[in-house]
A and B are shown apart, each in its own frame.
Chain A
Amino acid sequence: MLSKSQARTFFLGGTIVTFAIFLGLSWNSLSNDVPKQTNPQNLTGQVVRGKHLWESNNCMGCHTIFGEGAYYAPELTKVFERRGEGYIKAALMTQTPWAPRGRKMVAYGFSDAEANDLVAFFKWVGEVDLNGFPPKPDVSR
């Protein structure tokens, strides 16, 4: 039967080996995948400002992006492609809560420049290669 010191060796050994593999794979992802899949050359000042607005208003508290966030409001990874610039800017700049089908969004009343920053961020987000996410609907109604 397993002894306590063997059990400890299993714990320490397993942890060290898997953590080493994890660090190696992470290094590989950050140095090879990120440049290939995320178009870092397109990360302009405008996109970065958009990301900052995205975070400082906690948009993830209702929406998801890359499927991450909360589930109260739509997934926004492909919103630029789906809705286009005009619709997005209208939702961002309105002074009264945007409320499609009655569910309210906070009326942030962003300036034109801020709305453009967020649109640039969404455009960049939409172009990231996400290994096929979000899936295309494949059942006909």
Chain B
Amino acid sequence: MKYHSQKVAYWFFAAAILLLSLQIVYGFIMGFAHMGYDGLHSVIPFNTARAVHTNLLVVWLLLGFMGAAYYIIPEEAQQELVNVKLAYIQLISFLLVGVAAIVGYHLNYWEGRKFLEIPRPLDWLVVVNVLTFLGIILATLYKGKKRTTTSLVLTMGLVFAALLYLPGMVWFDNQTMDSFFRWWVVHLWVEGVWELIMGGILAFLLIKLTGVDREVIEKWLYVIVGLTFLSGILGTGHHYYYIGVGKIWLIIGGIFSMMEPLAFLAMALFAVAMYRKGEKRHPNKLALYWTLGTAILSFVGAGLLGMAHTLPQVNMYTHGTLVTAMHGHLAFWGAYGMIVFSFITFALPNLTGRKLYDTVNGQLAFWLSNIGMLGMTAAFGVAGVAQVYLERKTGLEFGAVQQEIEVHFLVLVLNATMFATGITFYIIEFFRYGRPNNEAIGVEETL
């Protein structure tokens, strides 16, 4: 760490991990409900658990991105954050809005549109909050000595993410229109601008961890984000196949979403190539594990498993089944969960001055969480394919199919337990690092 104000990142990471833990609890509630054990139904019905699970995911990932930005921007711009106090206020208010939303979900108070369940009044608070965050980042960049490609791509991702929140706040009477614009937020976030954020963070990590020349890394960063938008924007069409708009989307969405894995493939090849090219090795081995891990698993989860059901001929049958949950879990974990973990693993020794670079707990956290998540993905996949065949091909009734596939949720819960154990080890390591402190300034290991 080089700047005092970077310390604020630590608290964003702590909050992110806290919310992830809560997300996992609600995941278990749903896993058990699918197995037929819904003892909490009267307190936390499935739709509450589901909304809490997905919203916590979005909030903890955003907290991770924000924390990473508060760490990266000062270092890249060579400038302290313009207002640290405001950054702390922004964190606390963001958490308060999140808590209010989650309490609301338990009281049947929501907007009720998939992933955008936050009620409208709270939407406005999110907007104010994100504008504050962007204000701090942009002002710091503006005052800074340098504007690097890495910091610009990261900032561009964050600004676009904020802008794209707005189409989700327009009210439509027509369900088709509603769905059409809901995907402008959801799809263009996760298969568009979030990849810019991920690319920016990944580039920063590779510069720090491999010692490869910045110019080389940033050139490929442009190629990757170029591929992302080239395929991802028109790839939105894969959400428009069956919602009441024209058949042109079957062709456009099919072709361009088949190209979407290219950006992730490029990211995986890029990370591995830079790792090989780098002549020096940063001692933070765990950060390198997570960084290469996210590059590879994002290609598998977001790229390949997305491609597996994106063609209209396939999607006709898999649309709205557990096959989507299969893709969703590994995509969000591999691409976004793991990039946040990569960054935290890289930043913690620098923030606290403690060099837990390669510990048993850290290794266990990495392997157990990743193997657990791969197992969960497999369980969802088997359940999903069975569901598609029984329900969509043979016409067996929904409830009867659900009883047939209950056993796969036992497998899911077992793997989720492994995943949660890995996360527990990560949290133990997080606490072992202690708090960020000023003695850590300027003692960071660099290549």
Contacts and interface: CB of A to CB of B under 8 A. Distances in A.
Interface in A11-37: 11, 14-15, 18-19, 21-22, 25-26, 28-30, 32-34, 37
B225 interface: yes
Contacts of A11: 222-223, 225-226, 229
Contacts, number: 214
A139 interface: yes
Given A30-B180, A131-B247, A138-B393, A61 B47 contact: yes
B319 A67 contact: yes
A3 B179 CA distance: 41
Interface in A50-76: 51, 54-62, 64-75
Contacts of A64: 320
A70 B41 CA distance: 16
B175 to A, nearest CB: 6
B285 to A, nearest CB: 30
Interface in B144-179: 149, 173-179
Contacts of B34: 72
B171 to A, nearest CB: 10
B35 to A, nearest CB: 11
Interface in B201-246: 215, 218-220, 222-223, 225-227, 229-230, 233-234, 236-237, 240-246
B385 interface: no
B403 interface: yes
A137 B247 contact: no
Nearest to B317: A135
A33 B246 contact: yes
A73 B41 CA distance: 14
A4 B112 CA distance: 45
B112 A56 contact: yes
A4 B222 contact: yes
A138 to B, nearest CB: 7
Given A51-B173, A61-B50, A32 B246 contact: yes
Contact of A66 (B173, B230, B243, B252): B243
B233 A22 contact: yes
B121 interface: no
Given A28-B246, A48-B173, A134-B392, 16 more contacts: A4-B149, A4-B222, A7-B219, A33-B245, A38-B244, A56-B112, A58-B51, A58-B110, A60-B112, A60-B113, A62-B50, A67-B243, A72-B46, A101-B402, A128-B176, A137-B394
14 contacts: A14-B227, A19-B229, A22-B234, A28-B246, A58-B112, A61-B46, A61-B48, A61-B50, A67-B319, A68-B179, A103-B38, A106-B45, A131-B250, A137-B391
Interface of B: 30, 33-34, 36, 38, 41, 45-48, 50-51, 105, 108, 110-114, 117, 149, 173-180, 215, 218-220, 222-223, 225-227, 229-230, 233-234, 236-237, 240-250, 252, 256, 316-317, 319-322, 324-325, 387, 389, 391-396, 398-400, 402-403
